[in-house]
Amino acid sequence: MTTSLEAPASTPAFQQVGLARKAKNGVATVLVWLSFLIAVVPLIWVLYTVIVNGITRIPFSNWWGEDFGNVLSDEVGGGVLHAVIGTLLQGLVCAVIAVPLGLFVAIYLVEYGRGKLAKTTTFMVDILSGVPSIVAALFIYALWITTFGLPRSGFAVSLALVLLMIPVVVRSSEEMLRIVPDDLREASYALGVPKWKTIVKIVLPTALSGIIGGIMMALARVMGETAPLLVLVGYSSYVNWNIFSGEQASLPLVMNNERVTNTMTPGSVGFERIWGAALTLVLIIAVINLLATLISRLVAPKKK
């Protein structure tokens, strides 16, 4: 006589997969891969075009160590040192202003936001995320230059980029903070730790790796903007370290200036400079993203 414990177990229900479910799974798999290919092919095409057309100037040391100050517009030579410095300075000042503001807003919305103020803040962030770059540039022009009478400068460009960067930082940081388990917060509160210290010691370190990734994504987005540069600062072919005064170049401005002053026939000086500047911008953003990935892994919570 066999007992119920000795009787053979029945086949689990999840192992009995029907043909219809297998067919649906196959169709879904094909659609996912097809969507992936549709998204990747244009990306590979763009990267291939930029690399093929821009690689002619990148390997030379003068491209990274000189400016166009002593070179004629149609003369071979010179480099984008002035534009790289301008791009990095404007992006750095923008990040210094936008990152704390965006992070504080995200913390407020996730940890403290209740009532009409939180709803209003969320609504304004949504509106700001849809503002075109030219509108942000015109707003800063009206406020900074027309109202206050201050000169066009790289700092004015950074202020316009702040308006574009803040909503991206807020949204990415907000999502990272929300995925932190509430159990960690409740355990900290149970030990008598104040809420602000729980946020600083528990919540932020747990979400920090994702927050850094979102910040770098936002920075990469604004570094390629052109409209604020055209409105708020003039192009200079020399290196300008003073972001508060004078004309200042950047990589998008180099591309626009060469498009206006030179011919765009393949093999011409203007053609090579435009694609070289584009590839330089792609390389800088790629390096920033690699650094962000490395930092994110270093600060990520360690798994035992």
Provide CB contacts within 8 A for 165, sequence distance 6+: 94, 95, 98, 102, 218, 219, 221, 222
Q: Around Cβ 135, how many Cβ atoms within 10 Å?
A: 14
Predicted confidence (pLDDT) per residue in 211-237, tens digit: 998 898 889 889 888 899 999 998 888
**Average pLDDT score over residue span 194-201:** 90
Predicted confidence (pLDDT) per residue in 259-296, tens digit: 877 777 777 888 888 899 999 999 999 998 888 888 88
Task: Give the DSSP per-residue string, 16-42.
Answer: ---HHHHHHHHHHHHHHHHHHHHHHHH
Residue 189 to residue 197: CA distance in whole angstroms: 10
Q: Could you name the CATH architecture of 61-299?
A: Orthogonal Bundle (1.10)
Predicted confidence (pLDDT) per residue in 97-109, tens digit: 999 999 999 999 9
> 138: pLDDT confidence band, cut at 50, 70 and 90?
very high
Q: Which residue type sits at 41?
A: V
